[in-house]
Amino acid sequence: MSNETKKILFVCVQNASRSQMAQGFAETFGKGRVEVYSAGSRPSSHINPLAIEVMKEKDIDLSGRQPKGLNDLPPVEMDYLVTMGCEETCPAVLSKRVLEWDVPGPRGKSIEVFRQVRDLSEEKVKAVFKEIGKNI
């Protein structure tokens, strides 16, 4: 069992919905045992208000966050790099393990679609924690 804090990075294109939701879940489930980051290859100027709204339904507050670019990340090796169904090839980030999730982008869709993306992200984040649980 490792005492080293695991580092997880979630990447999507805009860092406005999918990766922000995944980061919120990972921070909640990890309860300080992991360092969690999210970023976008082409970050938006703000987090999508519907992403904030549907995460509030899970008691996770994203309202004070801002989208970040890959250049905003610390220069460290991640334990897990999770791509969230990027519409393009995500730039390489130094990581021990890469997971590619096919999570549809909800931008421009209904709140019901945002809830589906939120719930899918929650299940996938739980699966990652189950996989690495004995090491965190």
CA 23 to CA 134: how far, in whole Å? 20
pLDDT for the residue 47: 97
pLDDT for the residue 98: 86
pLDDT for the residue 92: 62
Would you say 9 and 80 are in contact if contact means Cβ atoms under 8 Å apart?
yes
Residue 136 located in a structural domain = no
pLDDT for the residue 24: 97
- How many domains are there within the chain? 1
On the 0-12 / 13-18 / 19+ scale of CB atoms within 10 A, 26 is buried
For the full predicted model, state whether its pTM sits above 0.75: yes
Residue 46 located in a structural domain = yes
Low-confidence residues in the chain, pLDDT < 50 = 1, 136
Residue 122 located in a structural domain = yes
Residue 104 located in a structural domain = yes
- The CATH number of residue 53's host domain is 3.40.50.2300
Q: Active-site residues: which are they?
A: 12, 86, 90
Q: Which domain holds residue 114?
A: 6-131
| Contacts with 71 (C-beta within 8 Å, 6 or more apart), sequence order | none
Residue 1 located in a structural domain = no
